[in-house]
Amino acid sequence: MTSASPQPENLVSVLSTQLADAVEQTGPAIVSVNASRRCGASGLYWQPGIVVTVDHAIRQEDEIPIVLADGTSVSATLVGRDSSTDLAVLRLTELDLPTPSLSDLSLRVGQLVLAVGRTGEGSLSASMGMIERLGGSWRSWQGGQIDQLIRPSLLASWGLSGSALLDAQGQVIGLNTSGPRQMTITIPVATIQRVVAQLLQTGRIARGYLGVGMQPVPIPDRLVESLGLSYSEGVMILSVEPDSPADQAGLLIGDVLIALDAQPITDVSDVRMMLTADRVGQSLTARVIRAGATVELAVPVGERQPEDGGEEPDWERRRGRGRGRRR
């Protein structure tokens, strides 16, 4: 005699209880971050005395109001920020709060997930969805290295930006932020761990800098043919900052940049992708069109000075083709 299969209503009840338990398990580590009048956000008590949140929601560096699970309000100080991954690290007095359990499971498209955040007043909020899309490692428009593409499909809720994405066991998959057209993108745990470690050590993430203003331009067919190019676009140098790495290397206004270290350059975003932290202090071989011929120059990569936080993540807002950008 076989046992009866679970009734559908029982399955729903079991799932509902499991998801509520997952939210309850991680809830104490979720805080509210009120560092912007316009854009409230959630944050995650990552390790003792440290909160991780989204960079675009941070509009002050000191006396940042943090609301804890029990409604207590405390102040935090900005340790460091990285707009290229949209992450910010805050420090507060070490509290007797649990740190979250981090997921090490392989993700699958269609997997149920939960976004758990906290409102400005401290109330817990949750939204259920599923993994809509997965991909490999990718770079943001600002050149930030994101270890995995995770795009969940979630119902919008207050505090979604900076909320934790959980699996059904209540383990943290990553931190949610706003993508293009209000699409949610999740910054995975591996990226958070790497960026947090760097910000705690140095307070910043190094970003490459050349000191030029650029704009994509088409290359005339006759030049494409005479120079033996396999593509017909490049990036024109519109301005060169005095004493910048580009100035020292001899780049000139009117040069058309077509390659860096033998990598084709057809858009400003291609240049940005080459100016990663590991290249600061090194030289890139720039191939430019000048007076109808190609010239190669060794261009040192400087370090861009830290910028103030933005209103929304530049690395997603500017996904389109760059026009007249300075690098």
Q: Which of 155, 187, 202 is the endpoint of a domain?
A: 202
Q: Of 163, 180, 202, which marks where a domain is finished?
A: 202
Q: What pLDDT score was predicted for residue 35?
A: 84
The span from the CA of 128 to the CA of 126, in Å, is: 7
Closest by CA to 88, choosing from 42, 134, 122, is 42
Residue 289's CATH number: 2.30.42.10
| Distance (Å, whole) CA 154 – CA 156 | 6
In a domain, 313, yes or no: no
Same domain for 156 and 89: yes
Rounded distance, CA 311 to CA 57, Å?
Answer: 7
Question: Per the structure block, which two tokens stand in for 84?
Answer: 């290229």
> What does 34-47 look like in DSSP terms, one character per residue?
---SS--EEEEEEE
Q: Same structural domain for residues 153 and 259?
A: no
For 246-283, the DSSP string reads HHHHT--TT-EEEEETTEE--SHHHHHHH--GGGTTSE
Number of domains in the chain: 2
In a shared domain, residues 181 and 45 = yes
Task: Report percent pLDDT > 70 for the chain.
Answer: 89
- Of residues 165 and 318, the one with the higher pLDDT is 165
What local confidence, expressed as pLDDT, does residue 316 receive? 46
Q: Rounded to 5 degrees, what angle do the CA atoms 185, 189, 191 make? A: 80
> Could you tell me the residue range of the domain that residue 120 belongs to?
16-202
The answer to the question of residue 101 being in a domain is yes
Instruction: Find how far residue 217's CA is from the centre of its chain.
Output: 28
Q: Phi/psi of residue 223, each to 5°?
A: -75, -40
Q: What is the distance between the alpha carbons of residues 55 and 192, in angstroms, rounded to a whole number? A: 12
Structure tokens belonging to residue 18: 């499991």
Query: How do residues 56-104 score in pLDDT, each as one tens digit?
Result: 989 888 999 999 999 999 999 999 999 889 999 999 987 888 999 999 8
DSSP string of 213-228, one letter each residue: EEEEEEPPHHHHHHHT
In terms of DSSP bridges, do strands 50-54 and 164-166 run parallel, antiparallel, or are they unpaired?
unpaired
**CA torsion angle 16 21 23 28 (round to 10):** 160
pLDDT in tens, 200-228: 998 888 888 899 999 999 999 999 999 99
Q: Report whether 208 contacts 280 (CB < 8 A).
A: yes
Amino acid at 202: T
Q: Are residues 182 and 219 in the same domain?
A: no
* Tokens coding 265: 């350059």
Same domain, 185 and 290: no
pLDDT at 126: 92
- 114 with 249, same domain: the answer is no
pLDDT tens column, 20-37:
999 999 999 999 999 877
d(CA 157, CA 236): 43
CA–CA dist 120, 123 (Å, integer) = 7
Q: Cβ of 274: how many Cβ atoms within 10 Å?
A: 18
Radius of gyration of the CA atoms of the chain, in A: 23
Q: Given 202, 222, 252, which residue is the final one in a domain?
A: 202
User: 162-196: per-residue pLDDT in tens?
Assistant: 999 999 899 999 999 987 667 889 999 999 999 99
Q: Which two tokens stand for residue 187?
A: 């910054």
